[in-house]
């Protein structure tokens, strides 16, 4: 009597596994196939096989499943102590085993062998377990001073071995490898650096490291010709300092109910609500952070003409870690009748 024996290797995969590739066998006395499983995002039962069809005309008398040299089943008798391996079918047309919660250690050769009238036949299946690339350890956010060296690392695992690249978010530059070394970091390099790992099994895994560079941010020094406010009008002296960390400001002035100081993130305003003769003179703004300090001065002098604004930029001190300060005055006048 002619019939077909189907030798199936079934895998019940957890949510993180899906089928990657499957090569079917053609009927033969001895054949082999590679079965690849990869991490995914499915919650399904997968009937994976091989469709190993071995057409024979004899009655099967013995049959067994082996993993390498370890016997899993002989007929309906289980030899394996692994509870994840179970027998699905065992008859003259279907001899199937089921492996649940597939692990990396399950990778390897599986052999289905049967005997009919003392004539052995063998079918081979090679299981390849793929694991998506995953970042397991990465540098924490770091804060450094300008000119220091920065060393970042990003460690990843996966099967096959994943690639690791670093990408800076500002300029899009890419560096290959787990380690990113920045020598004498500059202020422009303070940004987010992204680690990307990929092995083609699933979408890449990505994580970012924020690098903060503590430094001065002076604008190009320049001076704008000064004008002056008018008696009885409003005037503003403005002091600007761009720095990391943010600068704090100070105006050393006497108590005067006509003066107000308004500090903002990157600037400080000294407001004169009613300019009088006593207000004319030199004013100095001090800006500082933990890296250093700087100052800028400007002269508020009397002039009868209408004015619109004054700016002056002071050069930073030569020592490292200073901030650039810009001071400017603005006079607000009423148009002449």
Cα 315 to the center of its chain, rounded Å: 39
124/20 same-domain check:
yes
More confident residue, 227 or 55: 227
Residue 51 pLDDT exceeds 80: no
14 token code pair: 């957890």
pLDDT of residue 164: 97
CATH number, domain of 173, equals 2.60.40.10
Are residues 10 and 120 part of one domain?
yes
User: Domain check: are 188 and 229 in the same one?
Assistant: no
Range of the domain at 282: 223-332
- Which of 109, 131, 153 corresponds to the end of one domain? 131
pLDDT at 266: 78
Of 85-99, 173-187, 247-261, minimum mean pLDDT range: 85-99
Residues 150 and 115 in one domain: no
Tell me whether residue 43 is in a domain: yes
User: Are residues 206 and 247 part of one domain?
Assistant: no
149 token code pair? 């060296």
106 in helix, strand or coil? helix
Domain membership of residue 276 (yes or no) is yes
Residue 93: C-alpha distances to residues 4, 52, 72, 212 (Å): 6, 11, 19, 67
229 and 252 assigned to the same domain: yes
Token pair for residue 22? Answer: 């499957």
pLDDT above 70 as % of the chain: 66
- Round to whole Å and give the CA distance between 33 and 23: 6
Same domain, 201 and 257: no
Is residue 10 helix, strand or coil?
strand
Inside any domain, residue 203: yes
pLDDT at 16: 34
Note the pLDDT tens digit of each residue in 113-130.
877 777 787 888 888 888
Assigned token pair, 245: 């960390």
- So what's the pLDDT on residue 303? 61
- Give the single-character DSSP code of 224: E
188 and 261 share a domain?
A: no
How many domains is the chain partitioned into structurally? 3
Listed residues 195, 216, 237: the one ending a domain: 216
For the stretch 35-68, what's the b/e string if a residue is b when 16 or more beta carbons lie within 10 angstroms of its beta carbon? bbbbbbeeeeeeebbbebbbebeeebeebbbbbe
- With cut-offs at 50, 70 and 90, classify the pLDDT of residue 209: very high
The residue written with tokens 């530059």 in the block is: 173
- 72 pLDDT higher than 70: yes
The answer to which of 28-42, 105-119, 234-248, 265-279 has the lowest mean pLDDT is 28-42
Residues 120 and 174 grouped into a single domain: no
Helix or strand run (H / E) with residue 144:
strand 142-145
The pLDDT-based confidence of 278 (bands split at 50, 70, 90) is confident
Cβ(186)–Cβ(115) below 8 Å: no
Could you tell me which residue, 211 or 123, shows the higher pLDDT? 211
- In this predicted structure, what is the pLDDT of residue 255? 80
CA distance 302 to 258: 17
Distance linking the first and last C-alpha atoms of the chain? 120
The pLDDT assigned to 228 comes to 61
Helical H segments across the chain, by residue range: none
Residue 222 has pLDDT above 50, yes or no: no
Domain final position from 91, 109, 131? 131
Contacting residues for 207 by C-beta, under 8 A, at least 6 apart: 135, 138, 154, 194, 195
pLDDT at 180: 95
Q: What pLDDT is stored for residue 332 in this prediction?
A: 38
Report residue 157 as tokens.
Answer: 């695992």
Write the CA distances from 268 to 31, 78, 218, 249, 315, integer angstroms.
82, 82, 16, 6, 18
* 99-124 mean pLDDT: 83
Same domain, 9 and 36: yes
Q: Are 313 and 263 in the same domain?
A: yes
Highest mean pLDDT among 44-48, 312-316, 319-323: 319-323
Task: Concatenate the DSSP letters of all residues of 261-308 into one string.
Answer: EEE-SSEEEEEESS--GGG-EEEEEEEEETTEEEEEEEEE---SS---
Task: Record the pTM.
Answer: 0.55
pLDDT for 40: 32
**pLDDT tens-digit map of 11-45:** 333 333 333 323 333 233 333 334 444 433 222 22
337 within some domain: no
Same-domain pairing of 30 and 99: yes
Average pLDDT over residues 276-296: 82
């Amino acid at each position: 009597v002619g019939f077909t024996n189907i030798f199936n290797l079934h895998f019940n995969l957890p949510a993180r596994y899906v089928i990657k590739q499957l090569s079917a066998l053609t009927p033969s006395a001895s054949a082999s196939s590679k079965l690849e499983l990869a991490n995914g995002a499915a919650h399904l039962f997968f009937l994976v096989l091989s469709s190993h069809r071995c057409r024979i005309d004899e009655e099967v008398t013995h049959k067994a499943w082996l993993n390498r040299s370890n016997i899993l089943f002989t007929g309906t008798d289980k030899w394996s102590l692994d509870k994840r391996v179970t027998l699905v079918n065992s008859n003259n047309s279907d001899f199937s085993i089921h492996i649940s919660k597939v692990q990396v250690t399950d990778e390897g050769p599986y052999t289905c062998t049967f005997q009919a009238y003392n004539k052995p036949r063998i079918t081979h299946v090679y299981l390849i377990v793929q694991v998506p690339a995953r970042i397991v350890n990465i540098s924490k956010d770091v804060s450094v001073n300008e000119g220091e060296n920065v060393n970042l690392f990003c460690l990843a695992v996966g099967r096959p071995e994943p690639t690791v690249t670093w990408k800076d978010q500002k300029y899009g530059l890419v560096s290959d490898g787990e380690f990113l070394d920045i020598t004498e970091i500059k202020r422009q390099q303070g940004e987010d650096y992204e680690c990307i790992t990929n092995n083609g099994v699933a979408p890449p895994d990505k994580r970012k490291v924020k690098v903060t560079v503590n430094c001065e941010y002076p604008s190009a020094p320049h001076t704008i010709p000064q004008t002056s406010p008018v008696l009885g009008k409003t005037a503003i002296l403005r002091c600007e300092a761009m720095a990391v960390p943010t600068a704090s400001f100070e105006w050393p002035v006497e108590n005067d109910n006509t003066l107000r100081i308004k500090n903002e993130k990157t600037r400080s305003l000294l407001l004169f609500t009613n300019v009088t003769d006593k207000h004319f003179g030199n004013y100095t703004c001090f800006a500082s952070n933990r890296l250093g300090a700087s100052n800028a001065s400007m002269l508020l002098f009397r002039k009868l003409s209408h004015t619109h604004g004054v700016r002056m930029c002071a050069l930073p001190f030569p020592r490292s870690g200073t901030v650039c300060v810009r001071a400017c005055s603005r006079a607000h006048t009423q148009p002449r009748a």
